[in-house]
Amino acid sequence: MDRIGVSFLDPLDDYELVHRIGCGTYGDVFKARNIRTSELAAIKIVKLDPGDDITSIQQEITMMKECKHKNIVAYFGSYHRNTKLWICMEYCGGGSLQDIYHVTGPLKEKQIAYVCRETLQVRIFLCERQLVAVAS
């Protein structure tokens, strides 16, 4: 964990948890607030047991750290404390496309075009990065 810049300090010195937002493959995600700056964050808390294979979670952290793009959730930092890994990132309060669909129904063609363009910008960014990695 040291290798990828994970802190061993207490995350609760930096963040207060607001409430649980959801859960994914690795654990629960909380809305949180940076105590010093008041900036909102989303924090994924992963329970680590001795002997767990942490390769894929390390890859997720490394990937987030490297991907700095306006359309990719920004990485704020990670903490490893008392068998839990806290991954802190930009909070996206607008909900998912599925959430929007449930509220407003199917997107209009112009809205779909917008989402496709923004998503493709990320795709191009990621492809370019891969090409740089291959060449160097």
Ligand X SMILES: Nc1ncnc2c1ncn2[C@@H]1O[C@H](COP(=O)(O)OP(=O)(O)OP(=O)(O)O)[C@@H](O)[C@H]1O
Per the annotation, binding residues are 44
Decide if residue 85 touches ligand X (CB under 6 A): no
Applying CB under 6 A, the site for ligand X has a residue count of 14
Distance CA 80, CA 6 (A): 6
Residue 109, CA distances (Å) to 104, 113, 126 in order: 14, 6, 26
Collapse the DSSP code of 105 into the 3-class scheme (helix H, G, I; strand E, B; otherwise coil) and give the result: coil
Q: By CB under 6 A, name the one of 12, 23, 63, 97 that touches ligand X.
A: 23
Q: What is the DSSP letter of 72?
A: S
Is residue 89 near ligand X by the rule CB under 6 A? yes
Exposure b/e, 37-52, CB count within 10 A at least 16 = b: eeeebbbbbbebeeee
Q: Which of 5, 10, 16, 22 binds ligand X (CB under 6 A)?
A: 22
Nearer to ligand X, 33 or 128 (CB): 33
Report the nearest approach of ligand X to the CB of residue 124 (Å).
22
Is position 91 an interface residue for ligand X (rule: CB under 6 A)?
A: yes
Residues that bind ligand X (CB under 6 A): 21-26, 29, 42, 44, 73, 89-92
